Amino acid sequence: MNKKVILFLLVSIFIIGIIIYSILNKAVVPIVVGTNPDNGSVNILETSQIDITFDSKITNQTKSGITITISPEVGFDSTWLSNTYKIIPKNNLQNNTKYTAKVLYKNKSVYTFSFETIIFSQTQIQKDGVIQSQNDYVFGQATKKVVNQYPWYTSLPIKTQDYVVYYDFQKQKFAITFLAKNTADKQASLTQSAITNIKSIGVKDPVQYYVTNSATSTASPAP
């Protein structure tokens, strides 16, 4: 065997060795299969944690090359739970804020997702809930008083394609509001229809009312 053949074999073996080494040591780019919150989610609680789940084939070697950035910046602790990278913010997320998280592998972006936090904090919601409950109680008591005096009140407004009827407490009369301009004859006919509907909810004669036209916002003289 001459020297050229030997040199050729040595070079071939060297090249094949490099190829085999590259294949065996080539790190697989991580594949994200899911996140929590999902991409595009809204109304996420400010106390939420963030999970990024990768393909089950991810290796420890690949994990070591993964970093996460979050914008706006969030200080966080993190841990791996099997193939899920769990992010635990050190402080609550900001309310009414859009966050964007980037998954980087060896400083190259491989996945991006965003979510928006809820407008109001849970503390504020609970505080407002107490206030709202108190207001609801007051409103409920007031409504109960109105319903006792005007039992037909819960059947209002009366809506048709031609008019709307509600009760004007200031004038102590029903307001019949026409939704379009009508001829005098048609308006008279529709007025009688409205009065019939008012009586059908338990209002006794004589029905006190006045009419208005939404197109002109002018009121006709009360009967």
- Check: CB of residue 110 under 8 Å from CB of residue 122: no
Q: Measured between alpha carbons, how far is 119 from 123 in angstroms, rounded to an integer?
A: 12
161 and 209 in a single domain? The answer is: yes
Considering the domain architecture, whether residues 55 and 100 belong to the same structural domain is answered as yes
Same structural domain, 85 and 40: yes
Residue 143 lies in a domain: no
| 88 in the same domain as 163 | no
> What's the pLDDT at 219?
43
Task: Indicate if 111 and 167 belong to the same structural domain.
Answer: no
Q: Is residue 49 part of a domain?
A: yes
Task: Name the domain boundary from 100, 117, 134.
Answer: 117
C-alpha to C-alpha distance for 176 and 187, rounded to whole angstroms: 11
Residue 200 lies in a domain: yes
Which residues 6+ apart lie within 8 Å of 45 measured at CB?
Answer: 117, 118, 122
b/e per residue 149-177 (b: at least 16 CB within 10 A): eeebbeeeebeeebbbbebeeeeeebbbb
Q: For residue range 133-174, what is the model confidence (pLDDT) as tens digits?
A: 666 666 666 677 777 888 998 899 999 999 999 999 888 999
Q: Are residues 168 and 211 in the same domain?
A: yes
43 and 110 housed in the same domain: yes
Where is the domain boundary, 117, 135, 159? 117
What backbone torsions phi and psi does residue 60 show, to the nearest 5 degrees?
A: -60, -35
More confident residue, 170 or 127: 170
The pLDDT value recorded for residue 16 is 67
How far, CA to CA in Å, does 207 sit from each of 52, 67, 84?
Answer: 67, 75, 70
- DSSP per-residue letters across 143-192: HHHHHHH-TTGGGPPEE-SSEEEEEETTTTEEEEEESS---HHHHHHHHH
| Mean pLDDT (whole number) for 117-127 | 75
Assigned domain for 89 exists: yes
Q: What is the pLDDT of residue 220?
A: 41
If one counts the domains in the chain, the total is: 2
Q: Domain end: 75, 92, 117, which one?
A: 117
With bands split at pLDDT 50, 70 and 90, how would you rate the model's confidence at 216? very low
Averaged over 66-86, what is the pLDDT? 95
Residue 144 lies in a domain: no
CATH number at residue 79: 2.60.40.3710
Q: Exposure string (b/e) for 55-82, b if CB count within 10 Å is 16 or more?
A: eeebeeebeeebebebeeebeeeeeeee
How many residues in the chain?
A: 223
- Identify whether residues 41 and 106 lie together within a single domain: yes
Instruction: In whole angstroms, give the CA distance from residue 90 to residue 44.
Output: 17
pTM greater than 0.75 (yes/no): no
Q: Are 179 and 163 in contact (CB under 8 A)?
A: yes
Would 203 be classed as within a structural domain? yes
pLDDT in tens, 48-66: 999 999 998 899 999 999 9
Same domain, 37 and 110: yes
Domain range spanning residue 205?
A: 150-219
- Mean pLDDT, rounded, for 62-84: 94
pLDDT mean over 25-41:
85
